[in-house]
C-alpha cells in the first residue's frame, strides 16, 4: 500500500474548510485513501484527527497517484 508522510500546511490545520476540500477531492478519485488511518473522503473523520499546522500525517491508499494528490492538498494552505 503506497503511503507518504506530509506536513499539514493549512494555517488552521485540518479543520472544516481544508477537510471539506480534501474530502471532496478524495471522493472524486475513486480510490481508497486514508489520512492517519481515517477515510480521506469524510470531512468529519479528517477533522477528528485534530491535526494542526505543522503536524506530520501519513497519507496512504491503494493508488500512488491518489496518495500523491491528497498529500499535495494536505501540504497546501487551503485557507489562503
Tens-level pLDDT at each residue, the chain (80 residues): 899 999 999 999 999 999 999 999 999 998 999 999 999 999 999 999 999 999 999 999 999 999 999 999 999 999 87
Per-residue pLDDT at 19? 97
Per-residue pLDDT at 79? 83
Distance CA 38, CA 22 (A): 12
Distance CA 77, CA 33 (A): 20
Q: What is the SS3 assignment for 12? A: coil
Amino acid at each position: 500500500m503506497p503511503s507518504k508522510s506530509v506536513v499539514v500546511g493549512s494555517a488552521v490545520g485540518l479543520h472544516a474548510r481544508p477537510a471539506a476540500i480534501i474530502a471532496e477531492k478524495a471522493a472524486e478519485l475513486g480510490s481508497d485513501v486514508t489520512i492517519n488511518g481515517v477515510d480521506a473522503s469524510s470531512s468529519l473523520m479528517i477533522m477528528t484527527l485534530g491535526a494542526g499546522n505543522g503536524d506530520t500525517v501519513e497519507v496512504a491508499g491503494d493508488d500512488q497517484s491518489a496518495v500523491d494528490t491528497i498529500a499535495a492538498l494536505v501540504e497546501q494552505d487551503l485557507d489562503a
